[in-house]
A and B are shown apart, each in its own frame.
Chain A
Amino acid sequence: MKGVDMATDVLVSGQPGSGGSGATPPRAFLDVRDLRIHFPTDDGLVKAVDGLSFSLDRGKTLGIVGESGSGKSVTSLGILGLHRLGGTRVSGEVWLDGEELIGASAERVRSLRGQRMAMIFQDPLTAMHPYFTVGAQIVEAYRVHNKVSKKAARQHAIDMLGRVGIPQPARRVDDYPHQFSGGMRQRAMIAMALVNNPELLIADEPTTALDVTVQAQILDLIRDLQEEFQSAVIMITHDLGVVAELADDILVMYGGKSVEYGTAETIFRRPEHPYAWGLLGSMPRVDREVRDRLIPVKGTPPSLINLPSGCSFHPRCPYVGLDGIPCRTEIPTLAEGSDHGVACHIPPAKRQRIFSEDIAPAL
């Protein structure tokens, strides 16, 4: 349970006031500390990510789950330094293999992008340039970080396309993105992201735009390639089924904050945050009997400009105000549970009882 230890360790050091633990433990390969990404708009300041901390080792997968607008994608763009420029305020620390990126020069971060950290986007049709061939786009990604001849780069691109399971790669390399099917296009996108053997791979809803049969193939592919390259993978999704298959650790985001963070085992077996319960209840399961209906999380995601006071989940939480706890006034911190962090005012013992007595039987 190395993942568990790591998560606990991170959560401890992430707590305010608990940092003075003497000798600094070696940092994880990716270590994100109190990341905040705010951008001003005409309507007010959008706090897309507000104090997020997590860490990830090589060869491990972190699943970030949450609804649309919970700050998942902005987090990944923030790590890569791709958040919208011009007025965007970023603070906190992002350590990649011991190097801090938030304070690094734009040129330094650029040279790491695509080289040591790469990203797979949600919709491969819009994410690839319609006017350039797939091969040309992969070659470009390779040559910007490697001084090789065009011919060698092209051969490498063909190899990569073959490796991600595209048949007849030597022929398909000269096709345009629109000539690929959805699944093949996402494979090409993955080939492009992996062309420099990145140590950190961020996949932002990589299967959302694909049909179900192809989804599983793409997830298998990402897992196989991860084993081969020993990359750290961040899998961003709103689909718990996806992370159930792949993730070692899971971070549940709500309103730009982390509300629950622990190993995948913990989050699926013993979740403690009412929002995580809601997500589990709304997930279709094939390993159980078919229920009549999925149970949605009631209400709508909060506005990131005017977050609800106190716990930002309180307007949607069925346990709000239980035993007079101050849900509406005090912001809960990601307190440490037995082996995972939960940002909830309900006392841990009570949460665990509610889950085992009321929630789990209904799932």
Chain B
Amino acid sequence: MINFILRRVVTSVVLLIIISVVTFGVFFMVPKLAGTNPAELYVGKSATPADVAATARKLGLDQPIYVQYGRFVKGIFVGREFASGTNVNHCPAPCFGYSFRNDRPVWPTLIDRLPVTISLAVGAAVIWLLGGVLAGVISALRRGSILDRTMMIIALAGVSLPIYFTGLLAQLWFVHDLHWFKGGEYINFADDPFGWANKLFLGWVTLALLYAATYARLTRAQMLETASEDYIRTARAKGLRERSVIGKHAMRSVLTPIVTVFGLDLGQLLGGAILTESVFGLPGIGRLSIDAVSTKDLPVVLGVTLFGALFIVIANFLVDIFYAVIDPRVRIS
């Protein structure tokens, strides 16, 4: 088991290094190849060539790309200095550089935004996991019934309808018309838990609907497949009550793939739910990334990308470990 975990840690780290090389390459080399100096993006179009050159020197953009990458990595682990003339600016680890737009360091910005994204993702995850799996199980057990068909149609709609449609509609009805929920700024959980939940609720439900639909369909298919397994027949032959046949024997097999998908989905969402955050005005990582892209704020874009990749890699790692824990056949071999 220890060996297994170590192997997984090593692959995860290697994966992160590769991702960082590729993303760094894309953001700092591709503009160069396309004929734009990243420094121009920082200082703006009206700047003189001398200004651009000075900025490039300050940010180290005049160095070869591998030196830039080396400094970038060093910045993440031990911090780095940005020198302009006599002015030396120390950026403590983990340093992802400074925003081109507001000169704020990238890392603290990400950390500021993270609670919003976590609140949204985790809240939605709880709803979709419970709702989706429950709907899927009921659908499978009542296969072919009106209930099954109705739920599967809702699920199909849930998968098909985009967030910017359901989200806006939800806001129109529940915030604007019915006033069930308040609009306005995001509220920290610590400041006002009820306000926090009130503000996030529609976002949770909208986002959850999208995922719950997928989970309901996955659960249903998995349950139907498991129900025809020999070991389910054995469970019945032992005289177990239907409750344990389904709830224990079948669910154990159904949940395995669900957990895998769930880990990856949650990992991905923690990197930012761009559409949901934009539609509901939530200042999370997703919102930060879309703002950074539209203003060509390269260090922020790079930071957000790596941050998101980190979550996905961690989620992958945890899912692998979890798999080994719940499936004894993986553990032994």
Residues of chain A whose beta carbon lies under 8 Å from any beta carbon of chain B: 77, 80, 82, 110-115, 118-119, 121, 123, 126-133, 140-141, 144-145, 176, 178-179, 192-193
Contact = CB atoms under 8 A, between A and B. Distances in A.
Contacts of B252: 129, 131-132
A192 B237 CA distance: 10
B33 to A, nearest CB: 52
Contact of B253 (A111, A128, A131, A140): A131
Contacts, number: 75
Given A131-B252, A176-B329, A192 B238 contact: yes
A144 B332 contact: no
A110 B239 contact: yes
A128 B231 contact: yes
B328 A131 contact: yes
Contacts of A128: 231, 234
Contacts of A123: 230
A273 to B, nearest CB: 31
A129 B234 contact: yes
Contacts of A111: 239
* Interface SS, B side: helix
Interface string B226-253: 0001110111111111001000010011
Nearest to B332: A179
13 contacts: A80-B237, A82-B237, A112-B239, A115-B239, A121-B237, A123-B230, A126-B229, A127-B231, A130-B329, A131-B253, A132-B252, A140-B238, A144-B240
A145 B239 contact: yes
Contacts of A130: 231, 253, 327-329
A141 B245 CA distance: 12
Interface string B306-333: 0000000000000000000011110010
Contact of B237 (A114, A131, A133): A114
B249 A129 contact: yes
A115 B229 CA distance: 22
B234 A144 contact: no
Contacts of A82: 233, 236-237
A127 B239 contact: no
B253 A110 contact: no
Contacts of B241: 110, 144
A110 to B, nearest CB: 6
B239 A113 contact: yes
B245 to A, nearest CB: 10
A192 B239 CA distance: 12
A121 B236 CA distance: 12
A167 B228 CA distance: 32
B327 A131 contact: yes
A294 to B, nearest CB: 30
A140 B231 CA distance: 13
Interface in B154-174: none
